[in-house]
Amino acid sequence: MTQRINRRQFNQALAAAGALSALSPFGIVRAQSQKLKVGVLLPRSGVQALIGQSCQRGADLAPAVLKQVLGVDIELMNADTESNADTARTRAERLIQEGANVLVGAFDSGHTAAIAQVAEQRGIPHIINVAAAPQITEQGYKFVFRNFPTAIDLTRNGLALMGEIFRATNTVPRTAVFMHVNDTFGQAMSRGVGAMLPRLTELPFKILDTIPYDPAAKDLTVEVSKAKSANADFLMLVCRLNDAIILRREMLKQRWNPMGIISPGSPGLYEEQYTKALGKYADYAICNTVWFNPKSEMTKIVGAAFKKHYPKDVMDFHGTNVGYTYDAIMIAADAFKRARSTDPKALADAIRQTNIPVANRMSLGGVIKFNPKGQVEGNLSAAIQNLKGKPTVTLPAAYAEAKVVFPSPDYKKS
């Protein structure tokens, strides 16, 4: 797929996006006679429920938008993984038995790895929306595809952005304490930090202590106390949502005010519930992570649809979740359009030939095309900082909506 949206088409699309009568950036085609059944697996309950529900918004918007921009019919078959890998596996099996032509999901790397095994065994294409564990696309799978960076890429991009943050703010922190969840994703990120940081001589800091913790923990008093005692300049954090809230509350309780919190690439800090739970104390946290491109033409089209369907919600709180979930379903729809078939092998072959231009994707990055391992390369990260109660792109400068703030204003206050 190489056709790019032109300015006239885009203006018409954006003007009519609320009613979804836009001209297509892909070119409208005559609707196909059969529907593509997309099994969407997300953790809509359990410890990761809020993030799964956030991803679901991107999925729910996709059929109507893609009907207009691709001219294909999509039927969603939604399944809740319940924040459990075993449940994810059984729900994937059930969706296939019920007729799903392609699977999309599942946010959590452990859940996604379980689904990938099922998809490969059953010969059904699986397009990963969000999941970073590198090993998922290192198994030699033929039916598993990921348009999301690996933990290695997330870490590399996140650390590079740290350097940009320090240069942009003329700061030179010398030390950090590293806290991370001990699940599949957190362990992969930790390995990436351990491998890359010593080689990045341009970064001015060293890690004084590394503290793993359970993302389902209800109390992080001991872990935060240990981190505080390191007396590091800033906290480097790989987290989820619920634990991020608990951790920040404990920091306030213990009056620990480092220069700031910076994540090299994880969810949690930019989520709406984080801000709702913490109010002003959510501000200034920075997450260097994948995000939607705020200047993308497709983002504006989907954003208008989001505003219509969720008038009391703000898409900025769902950046990674909506952007990458929408893009995953778009990849499936694009392949279906070209394959003109729901045959799983034909769909998989079409996915391998994906070539979606930058203007036609929501997420930050280059052309969407898969390497021989089923991995998209060239996905970009941005420094997302909570400013005035909203996650805001502050770097790279080409995409920035505001200037980054570091250290946080409460640095060293008690």
6-20, 28-42, 357-371, range with greatest mean pLDDT: 357-371
pLDDT of 7 over the 70 cut: no
Contacts of 222 (CB under 8 A, 6+ apart): none
pLDDT at res. 320: 87
Q: From CA 376, how far away is CA 357, in angstroms rounded?
A: 13
- Rounded to the nearest integer, the mean pLDDT of the chain is 90
Band (412; pLDDT cuts 50, 70, 90)? confident
Asked if 269 and 285 count as a contact pair (C-beta separation under 8 A), the reply is yes
Q: From CA 54, how far away is CA 380, in angstroms rounded?
A: 21
pLDDT of 350 over the 70 cut: yes
- Find, among 273, 215, 259, the residue nearest to 240 by Cα: 215
pLDDT of 192 over the 60 cut: yes
pLDDT at res. 220: 98
pLDDT of 1 over the 50 cut: no
Angle, in degrees to the nearest 10, between helices 319-339 and 344-352: 110
Band (22; pLDDT cuts 50, 70, 90)? very low
pLDDT of 6 over the 80 cut: no
pLDDT of 15 over the 90 cut: no
pLDDT at res. 157: 92
pLDDT of 14 over the 50 cut: no
What does 223-278 look like in DSSP terms, one character per residue?
HHHHHHHTT-SEEEEE--SHHHHHHHHHHHHTT---S-EEESS-SSTTSHHHHHHH
The two beta strands, 390-395 and 382-387, are antiparallel
Backbone angles phi, psi at 82, to 5 degrees: 60, 30
- Find, among 118, 134, 338, the residue nearest to 126 by Cα: 118
DSSP state of 142: S
pLDDT of 107 over the 70 cut: yes
Tell me: the pLDDT tens digits for 34-63?
Answer: 899 999 999 999 989 988 999 999 999 999
Query: Apex CA 332: angle with CA 157 and CA 117, to 5°?
Result: 75
pLDDT at res. 31: 43
pLDDT at res. 366: 92
Q: From CA 91, how far away is CA 80, in angstroms rounded?
A: 8
Tell me: the pLDDT tens digits for 197-221?
Answer: 998 888 999 999 999 999 999 999 9
pLDDT at res. 28: 39
Q: Find the helix or strand (DSSP H, E) in which 180 lies.
A: strand 175-181
pLDDT at res. 322: 93
Cis peptide before 100 (omega within 30 of 0): no
pTM above 0.85? no
Asked if 407 and 259 count as a contact pair (C-beta separation under 8 A), the reply is yes
What does 377-404 look like in DSSP terms, one character per residue?
--B--EEEEEETTEEEEEESGGG-SS--
Q: List b or e across 158-194, with b for residues whose CB sees 16 or more CB atoms inside 10 angstroms.
A: bbbbbebbbebeeeebebbbbbbbebbbbbbbbebbe
Q: From CA 181, how far away is CA 396, in angstroms rounded?
A: 27
Asked if 257 and 413 count as a contact pair (C-beta separation under 8 A), the reply is yes
Asked if 177 and 209 count as a contact pair (C-beta separation under 8 A), the reply is yes
pLDDT at res. 295: 81
- Which residues on neighbouring strands pair with residue 144, listed in sequence order? 126
Structure token digits, residue 104? 């999309």
pLDDT at res. 4: 54
